[in-house]
Structure 1
Amino acid sequence: MAQQSQIDDFLLLQRVAQRISSILDLDALLEQIVDDVAQTFGYTRSAILLLAPGGREVVIAAVRGWTSHYHVKGERFPASAGMIGHVVQTGKTCYAPDVSRNPYYMVSEASTRSEVDIPITARGQLIGVFNAQHPNLDAFPPPRLQLLEALAGHLGVAIANARLFERERKEKERMLQELAEARAIQSRLFPKQPPQVPRFRISGLSQPCLAVGGDWYDYIQLPGGRVAVVVGDVAGKGTGAALLMASTRSILRLHAEHGGSPSAVLTAVNRVLLADLPTAKFITMIYAVLDPERGTLTFANAGHLPPILVDASGSRPLIAKPELPLGVRAGTYSDQELTLMPASRLFLYSDGVIEARNAALEEYGELRLLQHLATPLASVESLLQDVLAHAQGEPVRDDITIVAVEALV
């Protein structure tokens, strides 16, 4: 009989340990443990009570076996009352082999003759009490008390792990919700549709490597039927870069409304950013103005990758005098003008295009870019798909933005 009791004890602890490692739902875990204890040892009543925030009350987290003075899950009691209150105050097990002789005992079931209340601790702090009651006198011999105290130790670990998991889950949900909201806000900052320009077609896309990013493109209607086309790239990724992107977009639009040349607009934006940008942050940008009546496109480049012109002679980058990114130091920018002949195309893009890598760490690179854009049907969509095909399923490590200006035949 004693040997069978020891086996039962061992198997109970084994089951509890298995549940602790496999169940992170605190409610489900405690309910299963209370059930198992009651069924294994025949305790008529058992419960797990957790200390409420502030420590002035205990709350029933799982309960079995009450028939009178019925208690339910969620019910609260003063943390100073009864044997449970004594455990809360002392942090030590309170065992009453005969409840009628225990000064702390408070009647909950008339049939109870013996009761034990064991502290549940985590990281040295009392977080709850395990309660078991029996209709027989002295129903908890020393070996059983040791087992239940070991069980309470396991419970402390389980409760601490489950609470940590729950906090992390809620924090993750909060962060995902905030990222989703940020993504929705940022997506509204991108053009909803391209502008309708006589004799030209404009298209663009942007794909952040994270939920939000620092790349962006924009179209701005200007006086005289002209259209400004912008591609920018804030140093960095994620939410911080997205915030700087939104701020820079607003500053740029404010100065673009004055209708100045691309170089004048970038010079004015740079002046504002120098006073506002955090240390070590900068922004590369191409600001171009398309004049459909003249068939020209004039642009200024603030440290961005050069545009690529595709015409009858092939595809080639438009290399100009190097200019510093915005927010680095005071200075001016220069304009470059070109005439877009019918069937010619101009592509603006961010460094996420050429820096996309495959599993062999081979970058997409400028050569592949020029080769792809030289094909007659190349577009912003086809370029993005070619870049992703090169990556072969590897995650893109930087935002990808592409804009095309095409002179129609």
Structure 2
Amino acid sequence: MVLVVDALDPKDKASVTRPEPLPSLAGAGRGELCAALTSVGVPDKQLRMRVNQLWSWMYVRGVPSFDAMTDVSKDLRARLAERYSLDRPEIVSEQVSQDGTRKWLLRLRRSGTEVAAPEIETVYIPESDRGTLCISSQVGCTLTCTFCHTGTQRLVRNLSADEIVAQILVARDRIGDWPDAVAPDDGRLLPSTERKITNIVLMGMGEPLYNFDNVKAAMAIASDGEGLSVSKRRITLSTSGVVPEIARWGGEAQTMLAISLHAVRDDLRNELVPINKKYPISELLDACRSYPGLSNARRITFEYVMLKGVNDSLADAKALVQLLKGIPAKINLIPFNPWPGSQYECSDWEQIERFAEVVNKAGYASPVRTPRGRDIFAACGQLKSESLKIRASARGGSVAQSGTAGSGQGA
């Protein structure tokens, strides 16, 4: 099932003149809300109260316009609406998998230097007792991991903090995850929990630690107890191994951590995850052992994609157990999700089970991640928006072509 939201014929678009959109406060932090209120003449002594009012309407109730803010004066609502909006990123397409996984291709606002608006993908994965939102932190990626389709899309730019938060707002809009909202009536799985988005994983497009400050600011908004209220214990940042930023992230952001490991030898990891050439396995694991707050209650998740004949031998399983010795850890075994042009195949299921048995016997939880959303290319790492860089000599910024959901291996 694919819902195409933007169905205007490209030939017709050229003749349509659209006014320049107002700046959106959707995804804004308290500081930005304070600045916006100051700009429309709110006195200093009222700022804190007004910020709290807007914050509650935006992040507790999820209202899409200032008109809905009934405890804010009509005059202030009108002044805000003259200069700002609460518009979300445009949904270019929405796909719903047979298993209930939902994927949105989102078109961001064009920045002042971009000749066209870049696009990203966001995925919602429902289970009976939880709902996980996989969000992106960059348009494209710099890491070129060979098993990941996202890595074949060159980096366009970092996402701003509000663009990261706005993915949460779009998802909550679409699945009816606000008070008194109506859930979609499409017969697909949604959790039985009161909140439909219970977990957030930074496992979409991009390497989040290469966009540290914006990701940190966005997760502060997501975890704010007076707003979206997602517990930091339910937020997981996944990194391919930006070693110098790992301890800083744990100390400042205090979320859960996942490591895209995928190999037990440097020579193989150099091929699969090229950042390993800069930060080899030994340095990466040293950073994990000193991760702030690490304990049996706050284990690190190690992600390990199962590639047939590449990293799936029983010797690899035994080496993995030895590598992680002394680190409170969970090991997620991820059946490889194929994508067009990939050089790899998924390990045979029997081999995955044998690999998991070795890890389990060593005392590590090693769930095999059930592929979700494969039919809409929303499975782990199958994200690619087709946004491209154009050569600096020919651009005033980045170009984003029509986004077709592709595939990769990081979500």
Larger radius of gyration: 1
- TM normalised by structure 1 equals 0.23
- TM normalised by structure 2 equals 0.23
> Which structure is higher in helix share?
1
Higher relative contact order (CA 8 A, sep 6+): 2
